[in-house]
Amino acid sequence: MRLSTRGRYAVSAMVELTRNVGKRPVTLAEISASQGISLSYLEQLFAPMRRENLVYGVRGPGGGYRLAKSADQITVAQIIMAVDGYVGARTEQDTGQPAASSEEQKQAVWADLSKQVYELLNRITLQQMADGSGEIAAVRGDQAAEGIDETRDREASRTGTEPAHNTWRRTANR
């Protein structure tokens, strides 16, 4: 599973803002030049982030954008939710009933995986991203693998199949 381009670019742009906290506002043109993201695309990304109160604009000469909250109060999940409207895989709405068909079981697995992706990204703050913090590696490493193992084992018990050990762990720790 990969993050959408919108989500990745939004996080990159927000990291750029974080690195300039306490300085003057940052223009989208500056972010465009430093991140290699088109100006028009950045404008599309910043509109929903403004609506979600993640950033605010400063008008006039020397204007640009600033973070609306402290970087340690903004999570990667919040940024992605603002620009994409969801985190993880899109599935049909959960009815709360036990999965009856193979398709419903697949949707249940994707819903569970999406929840785990959201929970992981909701633990990573913008400040950690900007710092390249070792905390991200800790969150991403063993905790991600454990969550994947739990998901794999739950699916194996649901379907009555033997889990394919280490297959998911290798891809999670790449």
Query: Residue 106 maps to which CATH number?
Result: 1.10.10.10
Number of C-beta neighbours around residue 15 at 10 A: 20
* Interval 20-40: pLDDT, tens: 888 889 999 999 999 999 999
Residue 167 lies in a domain: no
Query: Looking at the chain, how many residues does it have?
Result: 174
Residue 100: predicted pLDDT: 63
Q: What gap in Å lies between CA 24 and CA 27, rounded to an integer?
A: 9
Residue 106: predicted pLDDT: 82
Residues of the chain with pLDDT under 50: 91-92, 94, 144-145, 148, 163-174
Residue 163 lies in a domain: no
Residue 48: predicted pLDDT: 95
Residue 103: predicted pLDDT: 83
Residue 14: predicted pLDDT: 95
Cα 8–chain centre separation = 8
Residue 162 lies in a domain: no
Residue 157 lies in a domain: no
Q: What gap in Å lies between CA 51 and CA 94, rounded to an integer?
A: 28
Residue 152 lies in a domain: no
H-helix or E-strand spanning residue 14: helix 5-19
Residue 174 lies in a domain: no
Residue 79: predicted pLDDT: 94
Residue range(s) defining the domain that contains residue 21: 5-132
Structural domains of the chain, count: 1
Residue 9 lies in a domain: yes
